[in-house]
Each structure stands twice: as structure tokens, then as C-alpha cells.
Amino acid sequence: MKDFQILFVRKLDAATSSPVENVVASLLQYCLLHNLVCAEYNEHNEYMYSIPTILVAIGGDGTVLYAARESTKFQNAAIIGCNTGRRGFLADSHTNEQLWEMLDVYRLMSDAAIHLDRRSTIEGTVDKSCTLCPSTFFTAMNEILILPALSLNVIEYTIDVNNKRMATQRSSGVMVSTPTGSTAFSLSVGGAILEPSANLMQIVSVAPLSLSARPIVIPAVHNRVDVAIEVTDRTGDINIVADGQIIETLSHKREHTIHITHGKNVDFLRPRGWNFFEVLVEKMGTA
């Protein structure tokens, strides 16, 4: 039998408060019954990260993405996504009975009855080319996006892969996405759908001014993508966005470089028989 703790992350939204609270109540009841540690996760609190942990994300995909980024702080963590939102591409729809069954399987070490869905993240570093300016570090589960703060502006940038020039482009933005992110914003701007267990990164220009600018897929491991961009009066401020959250706004008129590399893996616990392509058909109507 495994010794583990349960932390939960929930979406605080009046529209979904009742379904969310139902799942929270079910979790607390389960932990009380089996004498397990159960608490709401708070990024400002110091939990015992060395203990094997299940993070239960209750909400939509945004809640799951937040839980996934936070789980990289743990040594042994797995995520169960409970969908109380709309599309729920990352979160599964569990009844309370199904959730209890998955926790039982994990607790009793019956790993064969669980599908382990391992996803990769990417890590970004903003190098401001300034000795006195500290670098910014961040993690993304879906994508890292670089775009002008004013949507009508166009930016010019260079892309290097392992210090080798890949492209010089002008567009409304550029992103590096993971396989998980390939069914999100990347897909809407012309990127390919990538099978989520693949260790790949995809570089996609947003509304490029050249017909030759096409998405490029590269191995994630042992590769570093460098996007160099200069802030000018013409570009205006430039936002660095990770999974839809603005990480930093570049406003100083100088060249900035964003380094993007393969990050830690994140493990999702899925019901036995879970299949990515079935989810693709169900959520996106690809059949």
C-alpha cells in the first residue's frame, strides 16, 4: 500500500461552484475514510514535496495546466483532472465513484489498472542582455508565446536551434508548443497535432508575412530554441506568455533573447483503456 498525500486545486468560479464543491466534498470524505492527508494546494505554503502526491485538479483545462506547472515542484507527483468546465481536453469527466476507484487503485499499488499518461513541459528563460537585469525563468505545459502587447503591431525576430540560425521572420507573434499544446492555440494558427507522449517541440509563427513560414517540429531533448527580438518604437512592448498567462512584458528598447528547452515530465493518471485518439474524436470531431 502506498503512503501518499492528496492536494487539490479548484477553479473558483460561481458558474461551476456547485460541481467543484461536490468533488471537494467527495475527496475529503475519501481521505477521512482512509486516514490520508488531504488539503487545498497553495503555492505560497510549504508542503512536504518529498512525499508522493496526487494533485487533483478540479475545473477545466486552465486549472489542469496550473496544477501541471505546480507539480514540477514535487519529486513524485501525479495528476488527476476532474472536468467541471466545458471542453475539458486535459481533464477527464469522473463521477465520484470513478474518482474513488482511481484513488483506490493508486493507493493499493494496482498500477496495471491505471493508464499513466506522461506529458512533457518546456522551460523558458528571458535573457534581457543587461548585466543588472535578472533573468526570468518559467515553465509551460502548452506553449510559450511571444507577441506584441498591441495586437496590430508586427514583430521581427530570429530563431536559432542549438546556435544554428533557422529563420528570420516577421509576424504577429511566434510560439513554441509542446505536444500537449498542439491541440490548443498552436492548432488554431496552423500547427500540426502531435501525439502527446512524443518528445517534440513545435515552432509556429502567428500570421507570418511570408508564405514560406511554416510550422517546424524538432526533437525536444538536447535541443534549445533561442528567439531573439528587439524592442523598438515600431514594435512597442512585447509580451512573453506561458499557457495564456503573461509572464513578463519587455519594454526596454534593446535586444532580448528567450531560451526555450525541454522541461520536466508531468504524469496524469487516466482510467484504464484511456486513448488519446478517442479523446481527439470526442472533443474535436475529427472522425
Kindly report the CATH number assigned to the domain that includes residue 22. 3.40.50.10330
Cell of 194: 502531435
Q: Which of 122, 107, 119 shows the shortest CA–CA distance to 274?
A: 119
Q: What is the pLDDT of residue 2?
A: 65
For residue 56, give the amino acid letter.
V
The pLDDT, as a whole number, for residue 130 is 67
**Among the three residues 109, 139, 169, which one is the final residue of a domain in this structure?**
109
Taking only the tens place, the pLDDT of each residue in 155-173 is: 999 999 999 999 999 999 9
Which structural domain, as residue segments, surrounds residue 38? 5-109
Domain end, chosen from 109, 144, 165, is at 109
CB atoms within 10 A of CB 185: 20
Looking at residue 36, its pLDDT comes to 87
Return the pLDDT at 47. Answer: 56
28 and 54 housed in the same domain: yes
Selection from 75, 50, 15, 13 nearest residue 267 by Cα: 75
* Assigned domain for 276 exists: no
**Sign of the dihedral defined by the CA atoms of residues 74, 76, 82, 88, in that order:** positive
- Would you please indicate which residues are annotated as catalytic (active-site) residues? 61
199 and 155, same structural domain?
A: yes
Are 51 and 178 members of one domain? Answer: no
The whole-number pLDDT of residue 49 equals 55
CATH number of the domain residue 212 falls in: 2.60.200.30
3-state secondary structure (DSSP) of residue 282: helix
**How many domains would you assign to the chain?**
2
Q: What's the pLDDT score for residue 132?
A: 64
Q: Nearest-CA neighbor of 268 among 3, 40, 79? A: 79
- What pLDDT is recorded for position 112? 61
146: left (phi over 0), alpha (psi -120 to 50) or beta: beta
Q: Which portions of the chain are predicted below pLDDT 70?
A: 1-2, 13-16, 44-50, 87, 109-113, 129-132, 286-287
Same domain, 102 and 151: no
Alpha-carbon distance of 83 to 58, in angstroms, equals 6
* Placement of cell 509572464 in the chain: 247
Q: How much is the pLDDT for 199?
A: 93
